[in-house]
């Protein structure tokens, strides 16, 4: 069965330090992979997406993610955290050949001053 | 700028009331979705639609119905609201990328419903 695992439910970093949010997926097909961000009482906003082009994907607000097929991972990184990055982040996978979108459980990012 | 608009951001209803949540998208997308989001349970798909007048049950359709009379509008209906339907409801739309692939989802701001 297809699944998405976000390895950390909470991540806390200091402002100005790197951010790493981890995501692993299981797949029998070629996936499309996304990271979304959700600020409190808001909808989900797309940060970046991988759809079988370059394995290193750059998104908005300085975030990027690397697709590693051998590790079935799609970790989200940012070199330097900002207070405004505090939010919940969702790793999302869709599969070709099926009308299916799977959401990770979410990782809440805390940024300390 | 692409947009998915949910008409009500916050609603308070009483048990047994009929509730309509409206969602409109301006991107001419074929696919539209209703999710609910609850702490510890993540996002769960209630219903989706891939064309006008077409609807499919998602993972938790019980207690809900939907209507898609026009391509741009997808309504979620709670026929008789109950307290366990207190939640954040998110509407999304997408355009198919290939054989059944849902592609990128565009979300509305959400409707927070409280049922007393």
Tell me which chain A residue has its CA closest to the CA of residue B98: A96
Rg of chain A on CA atoms, in Å: 14
| Distance of residue A31 Cα from the nearest chain B Cα, in angstroms | 9
Most A CBs within 10 Å, among B9, B51, B87, B102, to test the A interface = B102
By CB atoms closer than 10 A (0-12, 13-18, 19+), residue B76 is buried
Beta-bridge partner residues of B88: B37, B112
Averaged over B101-109, what is the pLDDT? 79
- Residue B95 has a pLDDT of 80
| pLDDT class of A98 with cuts at 50, 70, 90 | very low
B27 CB neighbours in chain A (<8 A) are: none
Inter-chain CB proximity B101 and A46 less than 8 Å: no
B6 CB neighbours in chain A (<8 A) are: 43
Size of the A and B interface in Cβ pairs below 8 Å: 60
Rg of chain B on CA atoms, in Å: 13
> What distance in Å separates the CA atoms of residue B8 and residue B21, rounded to the nearest whole number?
7
Strands B87-94 and B111-115: antiparallel
- Residue A84 has a pLDDT of 96
pLDDT tens digits for A29-69? 677 889 999 998 889 999 998 877 788 999 999 999 999 98
């Amino acid at each position: 069965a297809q699944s998405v695992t976000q390895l950390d439910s909470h991540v806390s970093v200091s402002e100005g330090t790197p951010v790493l949010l981890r995501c692993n997926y299981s797949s029998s097909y070629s996936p499309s992979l996304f990271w979304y961000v959700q600020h409190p009482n808001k909808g989900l906003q797309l940060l970046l997406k991988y759809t079988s082009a370059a394995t290193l994907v750059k998104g908005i607000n300085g975030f990027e993610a690397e697709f590693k097929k051998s590790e079935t991972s799609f970790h989200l990184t940012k070199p330097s955290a900002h207070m405004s990055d505090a939010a919940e982040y969702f790793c999302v996978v869709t599969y070709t050949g099926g009308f299916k979108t799977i959401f990770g459980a979410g990782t809440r990012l805390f940024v300390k001053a | 700028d692409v947009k998915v608009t949910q008409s009500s951001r916050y609603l308070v209803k009483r048990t047994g009331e009929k509730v309509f949540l409206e969602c409109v998208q301006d991107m001419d997308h074929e696919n539209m979705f209703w999710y609910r989001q609850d702490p510890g349970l993540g996002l769960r798909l209630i219903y989706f639609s891939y064309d006008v007048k077409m609807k499919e049950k998602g993972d938790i359709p019980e207690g809900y119905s939907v209507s898609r009379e026009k391509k741009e509008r997808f309504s979620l209906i709670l026929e008789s609201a109950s307290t366990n339907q207190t939640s954040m409801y998110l509407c999304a739309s997408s355009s198919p990328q290939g054989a059944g692939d849902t592609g990128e989802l565009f979300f509305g701001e959400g409707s927070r419903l409280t049922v007393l």
